[in-house]
A and B are shown apart, each in its own frame.
Chain A
Amino acid sequence: MSGKVKVATTSLAGCFGCHMSFLDIDERLIALSELVEFDRTPITDIKEVGPCDIGLIEGGVCNAENVEVLKEFRRNCRILVAMGACAINGGIPAMRNSFDLKECLEESYVHGVGVEDPQIPSDTEIPLLLNKVHPIHEVVKIDYFLPGCPPPADTIWTFFEQLLNNQPVEFTYRQIHYD
């Protein structure tokens, strides 16, 4: 790879916890910034993803926009990574899969505590919800998986360190957990 490695990140149906864990690599961010350049991420606030070497995806897909962004990342990123439990298996948002979408919407917008003028939002600006929440590997091909809710900072750091040094990505026992 010539020059700096280009990295993009995004959070789909996630809570930004994985991004917080990424920031938890602390002063190693300085070392990382010597090696990588950030494209679209919540840190740079760039809205459109351009051609990148690595894309990190947090969160599963729960609406039409998530699917669009995910496919855009896949088109642009040479290596696409599922970061965290929600990207890997839908996670907490996927717990709504035990209910009909209608039931979920009614619970929030019709029968919810303190709701005035109950109605289900249908503005064209709002992305349509999918019937179920899905892990991202059901939509696009994923090259690496980083488990955890969130993945520990050390796991994320090890991943970058090994990948950028062209080593096989391997984790120690304590770097792998699903919770």
Chain B
Amino acid sequence: MIRHFTLDGKKIPFREGQTIMEAAQDAGIYIPHLCYNPEFVPHGSCRVCTVKANGRIVASCTTPATEEMQVENETEELQGNRRELLQMLFVEGNHVCPGCEKSGACQLQAVAYYTGMLAPEFTYFYPMRTVDSSHPDVAIDYNRCILCELCVRASRDEDGKNIFSIDGRGINTHLTVNSASGKLGDTDFDVHDKAAQVCPVGAILPKHEGYNIPIGQRLYDRKPISVVGDVADHQEE
């Protein structure tokens, strides 16, 4: 028997064990997200996929769908919550879009556009962060990391290399590289690794490609992420 729940008034079928996010994606409905990638175990940390299920605020990527559940997704209240979460992500890092080669193909930007965010509006932290360019093919710009843990999951679960982890607490939480020097160049990381393909922002960037695709013709320059899909879906192109 096919079971259903309701998403913004629409009947959505789901299989036993599917999350709200998975069932929505199967039905072609976009729920904004950053740390979610269908290829990996959900992490539930960015909270951008927050929905209201039976009146409760939950992360749709970790909450299983249940029969006759009433879910709200595209409401002004939820978009407002998401916008504030994104604003906090922007002020916690150093996201200088005009100076970032990922600009236009960045999921943080794209989700912010989708929610109608015009400016971060909070007080900036301007944290002191570094850039690691020790690897011949890939650079890490810690200024742009949003701690989604996708590279951690990809390296551990798919590449079997366990190169990344998240360390520290609060504003000092940061991505670390598991080598004695802490440098990516001192690991067996490869540009073809899955972990090199999943970063939703410009934190893990392949070198030597920079501005191959001009600004204005990039992934999210013309159409919103709800139509185009995630960064990770387009990495092979």
Contact = CB atoms under 8 A, between A and B. Distances in A.
Given A94-B96, A178-B103, A89 B118 contact: no
Interface in B69-120: 90, 94-100, 103-104, 109, 112-113, 116, 118-120
Interface range for B: 20 to 34
Contacts of B123: 138
B136 interface: no
Contact of A94 (B103, B118, B126): B126
**Does more than half of chain B's interface fall in helix, strand or loop, or is it mixed?**
loop
A52 interface: no
A174 B221 CA distance: 7
Contact of A85 (B94, B97, B143, B223): B97
B40 interface: no
Interface of A is mostly: mixed
B98 A149 contact: yes
Contact of A95 (B99, B120, B222): B99
Given A91-B96, A173-B224, A174-B222, A147 B103 contact: no
Interface in A92-148: 92, 94-95, 97-98, 132, 134-135, 137-138, 145-147
B215 interface: yes
Report, nearest first, the 3 A-B pairs whose CB atoms are least far apart: A149-B98, A145-B119, A178-B97
15 contacts: A88-B119, A89-B119, A90-B124, A91-B96, A95-B96, A97-B94, A98-B94, A146-B118, A149-B97, A149-B98, A173-B223, A174-B221, A174-B222, A178-B112, A179-B97
